[in-house]
Amino acid sequence: MISDFSQSELLRYSKQILLPQVGIDGQRKLKQASVLIIGVGGLGSPISLYLAAAGIGRIGIVDPDRVSLSNLQRQVLYSFNTVGEMKVEAAKQRLTGLNSCCQIDIFPVAFTSENAKEIAEGFDILVDGTDNLTTRYLINDLCVRTARPFVFGAIQGFDGQMALFDSRIGPCYRCVFGSPPPSDHIPLPADSGVFGVLAGLVGLLQAAEILKIILGIGETLGGKLVLINSLTAEFDHIEVLKDPSCPVCGENSEIKART
Amino acid sequence: MRVRVKLFATLGMYAPGGESAKPFVMEVDQGTRLNALLDKLDIPEESVRVKFVNGRARKWDYVLEPDDEVGLFPPIGGG
């Protein structure tokens, strides 16, 4: 059955459909999938571009910021002409231009405990493109409560981290990172530099993980944390385990019990 | 006994000889716990978010063994 794809779509995705691990059935899974990207900055740029190119049916993007000139070194969704525009507006235009078959839903707001549940409603997978730990904890807790995968990524300087957290099959973000650290021990992106290509490296690992989850192919990274050093091109895989005393996904979870 | 230590990202500033992402060897007593390694390196405990030995995340009370490979990673918040 290929009648649910137009001739143009079949041509567009032909190189992907030719892969036996994808095929027309896999392409249909991508078309039926929905992914919410929280933050369309350094990580969200490559993630959204490659997911749209691959033919994800519905992509949600959340970001309250406007494009600034200092973003352009790593946020490849944007151009000089879009400086000053809302990021989600500029991103929608770019992504729709790349693939008009994708539905792009935009949320020009911060992702907070007040609106998170409503925004994330109906999306299969939540993706971390944020620039702060508070939002990462919020995404994680929501994913645990609603039994959805959380594809995590973080970058700073020349180093990055990436993981798939799915509390149904392995640890959640809190199992690995514990409670939020004191704010004075978190180097803020605004205070420190970041190697532009690192955003691409980590973001594309996240995008690959999302596509693998949807297609059900390869080995997902559940239970592993990937550490990336862009100066040495070293990738370390760390085995991480579920914490039985985790306040969110543990046996006597307080946070889960509250919701 | 000897253990091999790798400090990631900004923790490299605590490596002997200054900023370094390269692993180095440390001499520690038998029975040394992971958190005692921080004292030897003058690293504040709250500066470390992920600690692992031989590729597996561990807790602070893990007792080091000869030739263990220790990795310490700070919190990073950017995206």
pTM to 2 decimal places:
0.92
pLDDT tens by residue, A119-165: 999 999 999 999 888 899 999 999 999 999 999 999 999 999 999 99
A239 contacts in chain B (CB < 8 Å) = 52, 55-57
Are the beta carbons of A131 and B78 separated by less than 8 Å?
yes
Residue with tokens 């390869």, as numbered in its chain: A218
Cα–Cα dist A12/A7, whole Å: 9
What pLDDT, in 10s, does the model give residues B8-52?
Answer: 988 989 998 877 778 899 999 999 999 999 999 999 988 898 899
Give the CATH number for residue A160.
3.40.50.720
Read off the pLDDT of each residue in A213-219 and give the average, rounded to a whole number.
Answer: 96
Predicted local confidence at residue B10, as pLDDT: 86
* Phi, psi (rounded to 5 degrees) for A116: -60, -50
Residue of A155, A156, A228 to mutate when probing chain B, most B C-beta within 10 A: A156
Residue span of the structural domain in which A234 resides: 33-258
Q: At what angle do helices A196-215 and A44-54 cross, to 10 degrees?
A: 40
pLDDT > 70? residue A188:
no
Ranges of each domain in chain B: 2-73
Distance from CA of A122 to the nearest CA of B (A): 24
* End-to-end CA gap in chain A: 42
What architecture is domain B2-73?
Answer: Roll (3.10)
Average pLDDT, chain A: 93
Backbone angles phi, psi at A77, to 5 degrees: -70, -25
More confident residue, A63 or A187: A63
Put simply, the answer to whether B76 touches A161 (Cβ < 8 Å) is: yes
C-alpha A166/C-alpha A185 separation (Å) is 27
In a domain, A169, yes or no: yes
CB contact under 8 A, A181 and B46: yes
Query: Does residue A2 have a pLDDT over 70?
Result: no
Helix (H, G, I), strand (E, B) or coil at A156: strand
CA distance B44 to B14: 10
Q: Which DSSP string do the residues of A1-65 spell out, in sequence order?
A: --TTS-HHHHHHTHHHHTSTTTHHHHHHHHHH-EEEEE--STTHHHHHHHHHHHT-SEEEEE--P
A131 interaction partners in chain B (CB closer than 8 Å): 77-79
Q: Does B66 touch chain A (CB under 8 A)?
A: no
Residue B62 has pLDDT above 60, yes or no: yes
Least confident of A3-7, A22-26, A65-69, B62-66: A3-7
Say whether B46 and A185 touch across the interface (CB within 8 A).
yes
Is residue A52 scored above 60 in pLDDT?
A: yes
- pLDDT tens sequence across A73-124: 999 999 999 999 999 999 999 999 999 999 999 999 999 999 999 999 999 9
Query: Which chain B residues are Cβ-neighbours of A44 within 8 angstroms?
Result: 79
Q: Is A24 among the domain residues?
A: no
pLDDT(A45) > 60: yes
Looking at per-residue confidence, does A259 or A91 come out higher?
A91
Whether residues B9 and A154 touch (CB distance < 8 A) is answered with: no
- A-contacting residues of B 11-40, CB under 8 Å? 21
Q: Looking at residue A7, what is its pLDDT?
A: 96
Mutation target among A155, A238, A242 for the B interface, most CBs of B within 10 A? A238
SS in 3 state form for A168-237?
Answer: CCCCCHHHHHCCCCCHHHCCCHHHCCECHHHHHHHHHHHHHHHHHHHHCCCCCCCCEEEEEECCCCEEEE
**Which two tokens mark A70?**
């200092």
Q: Count of domains in chain A?
A: 1
Contact B77 A187 (CB under 8 A): yes
Burial A159-168 (b: 16+ CB within 10 A, else e): bbbbbbbbbe
Partners of B9 on chain A (C-beta within 8 Å) are 156-159
- Cβ pairs bridging A and B (under 8 Å): 95
The nearest alpha carbon in chain A to B70 belongs to A238
- Give which of A204, A203, A192 is closest to A157, Cα–Cα: A192
Q: Are B14 and B38 in contact (CB under 8 A)?
A: no
| pLDDT for residue A40 | 98
Contact B8 A227 (CB under 8 A): yes
| Residue A10 falls inside a structural domain | no
Please report the pLDDT score of residue A252 as a whole number. 74
Contact B55 A238 (CB under 8 A): yes
| Average pLDDT score over residue span A178-204 | 79
Token digits of residue B69: 């490979």
CB–CB of A156 and B9 under 8 A? yes
Q: Given an 8 Å threshold on Cβ–Cβ distance, is B10 in contact with A187?
A: yes
Within 10 angstroms of residue A7's Cβ, the number of other Cβ atoms is: 8
pLDDT of res. A259: 45
| Whether the predicted pLDDT of A181 surpasses 80 | no
Q: Which amino acid is at A134?
A: T
Residue located via tokens 């691409």: A200
**Model confidence pLDDT, tens digit, residues A9-31:** 999 999 999 999 999 999 999 99
Tokens of A86: 């809302």
Residue A188 in domain: yes
CA distance A219 to chain B (A): 18
Question: H/E element holding B4?
Answer: strand B2-7
Report the alpha-carbon distance of residue A174 to residue A250 in Å, rounded.
10
- The residue whose two tokens read 């959805």 is A148
